[in-house]
Amino acid sequence: MLRSLRSRLALAFALPAAGALIAAGVLSGLLLERHIALYLADTLRDRAGRMAAVLAAGYRPGTGWPAELMGALGSWGLSEGLTLAIRSPAGDVLWQQGPAVAAPAETVEVPVVAGGRTVATLVAAVPPGGIATEREAHLRQGVRQALLGALLVGAGIALGVTLFVGRELGRPLAAMTRVARRMQAGSWDTRVPPQAVAELDALGQALNALAGSLERHEAYLRRMTRDVAHELRTPLAVVRSHLEALQDGVWEPTPERLGLVHREVMRLVGLVDQLGALAEAEGEALHLRLEEIPLRSLLDPLAAGYEPLFGQKGIAFHYRPPLEALWVRVDPDRATQILVNLLANAQRYTPAGGTVWLEARQQAGEARIAVRDTGPGIAPEDLPHLFERLYRGKAARGEGQEGGAGLGLAIARALAEAHGGRIEVRSRPGEGAEFTLVLPAAGAHGAPTA
In tens, the pLDDT along 50-99 reads: 898 988 888 888 788 888 888 888 888 888 778 888 988 888 888 888 66
pLDDT at 264 over 50: yes
pLDDT in tens, 233-250: 767 887 888 888 888 888
Query: What's residue 261's pLDDT?
Result: 82
CB 314 within 8 A of CB 352: yes
pTM: 0.48
Greater pLDDT, 102 or 113:
113
Lowest average pLDDT, out of 1-15, 119-133, 200-214, 304-318, goes to 1-15
Work out the average pLDDT over 354-360: 96
Work out the average pLDDT over 403-418: 78
Neighbours of 393 (CB within 10 A): 22
Instruction: Kindly state the helix (H) or strand (E) to which residue 440 belongs, with its residue range.
Output: strand 433-440
Q: Which residues touch 191 (CB under 8 Å, ≥6 apart)?
A: 179, 208, 211
Classify residue 135 by its DSSP letter.
H
d(CA 145, CA 9): 31
Query: Predicted confidence band at 301 (pLDDT cuts at 50, 70, 90)?
Result: very high
Query: What's residue 134's pLDDT?
Result: 63
Pick from 419, 401, 417, 399: which is nearest to 409 by CA?
A: 417
Half-sphere exposure of 436 (CA within 13 A, CB side): 16
Query: What's residue 173's pLDDT?
Result: 78
Greater pLDDT, 357 or 233:
357
Could you tell me the domains of the chain? 5-136 (3.30.450), 198-282 (1.10.287.130), 291-446 (3.30.565.10)
Percentage of the chain beyond pLDDT 70 is 82
Which SS3 state, helix, strand or coil, does residue 21 take?
Answer: helix
d(CA 88, CA 117): 12
Query: What's residue 330's pLDDT?
Result: 94
Percentage of the chain beyond pLDDT 90 is 23
Query: What's residue 371's pLDDT?
Result: 96
Cross-strand bridge partners of residue 355 = 316
Pick from 281, 282, 354: which is nearest to 317 by CA?
A: 354
Query: Predicted confidence band at 445 (pLDDT cuts at 50, 70, 90)?
Result: very low
Query: What's residue 384's pLDDT?
Result: 84
Query: What's residue 97's pLDDT?
Result: 82
pLDDT in tens, 149-184: 887 887 788 778 777 777 777 777 778 888 888 887
Greater pLDDT, 335 or 135:
335
Greater pLDDT, 32 or 109:
109
